[in-house]
């Protein structure tokens, strides 16, 4: 029996779009990843301006939002990983934003 081991092939980020509902990431190999913005609470709570202030990081394999202190990697997006931030941490961040 021949078995195939899946291999995750990642590509670098070329563009990012964030709406009130969706995070969409274009990759250099032509793929586009779209996930619900609710998977990433800091993005969901961010303003339009904060969401638009992103930069490519990690040699092209990540995205960083300085204003929201959020970092996402292509690999995690491809694997469908949601934010692992705990409730207490998110609550502290939200309280800090109110000030």
- The pLDDT tens digits for 6-23 are 777 789 999 999 999 999
Query: Is the pLDDT assigned to residue 98 strictly greater than 90?
Result: no
* Mean of per-residue pLDDT scores for the chain: 93
Domain ranges of the chain: 13-93
Q: What is the pLDDT of residue 10?
A: 86
Strands of the sheet containing 32-36, edge to edge, are 13-18, 22-27, 32-36
> Which of 8-12, 43-47, 89-93 shows the lowest per-residue confidence on average (mean pLDDT)?
8-12
Identify the three-state secondary structure at position 76: helix
> pTM for the whole thing?
0.88
According to CATH, what is the number of the domain 13-93?
3.30.2020.40
Percent of the chain with pLDDT over 70: 97
Number of Cβ within 10 Å of residue 74's Cβ equals: 22
């Amino acid at each position: 029996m021949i078995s195939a081991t899946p291999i995750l092939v990642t590509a670098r980020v070329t563009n990012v779009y964030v709406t009130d509902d969706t995070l969409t990431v274009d990759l250099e190999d032509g793929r586009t990843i779209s996930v619900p913005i609710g998977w990433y609470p800091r993005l969901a709570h961010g303003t339009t301006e904060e969401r638009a202030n992103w930069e490519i990081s990690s040699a092209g394999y990540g995205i960083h939002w300085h204003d929201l202190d959020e970092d996402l990697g292509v690999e995690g997006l491809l694997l469908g990983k949601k934010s692992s931030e705990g409730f207490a941490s998110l609550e502290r961040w939200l309280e800090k934003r109110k000030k």
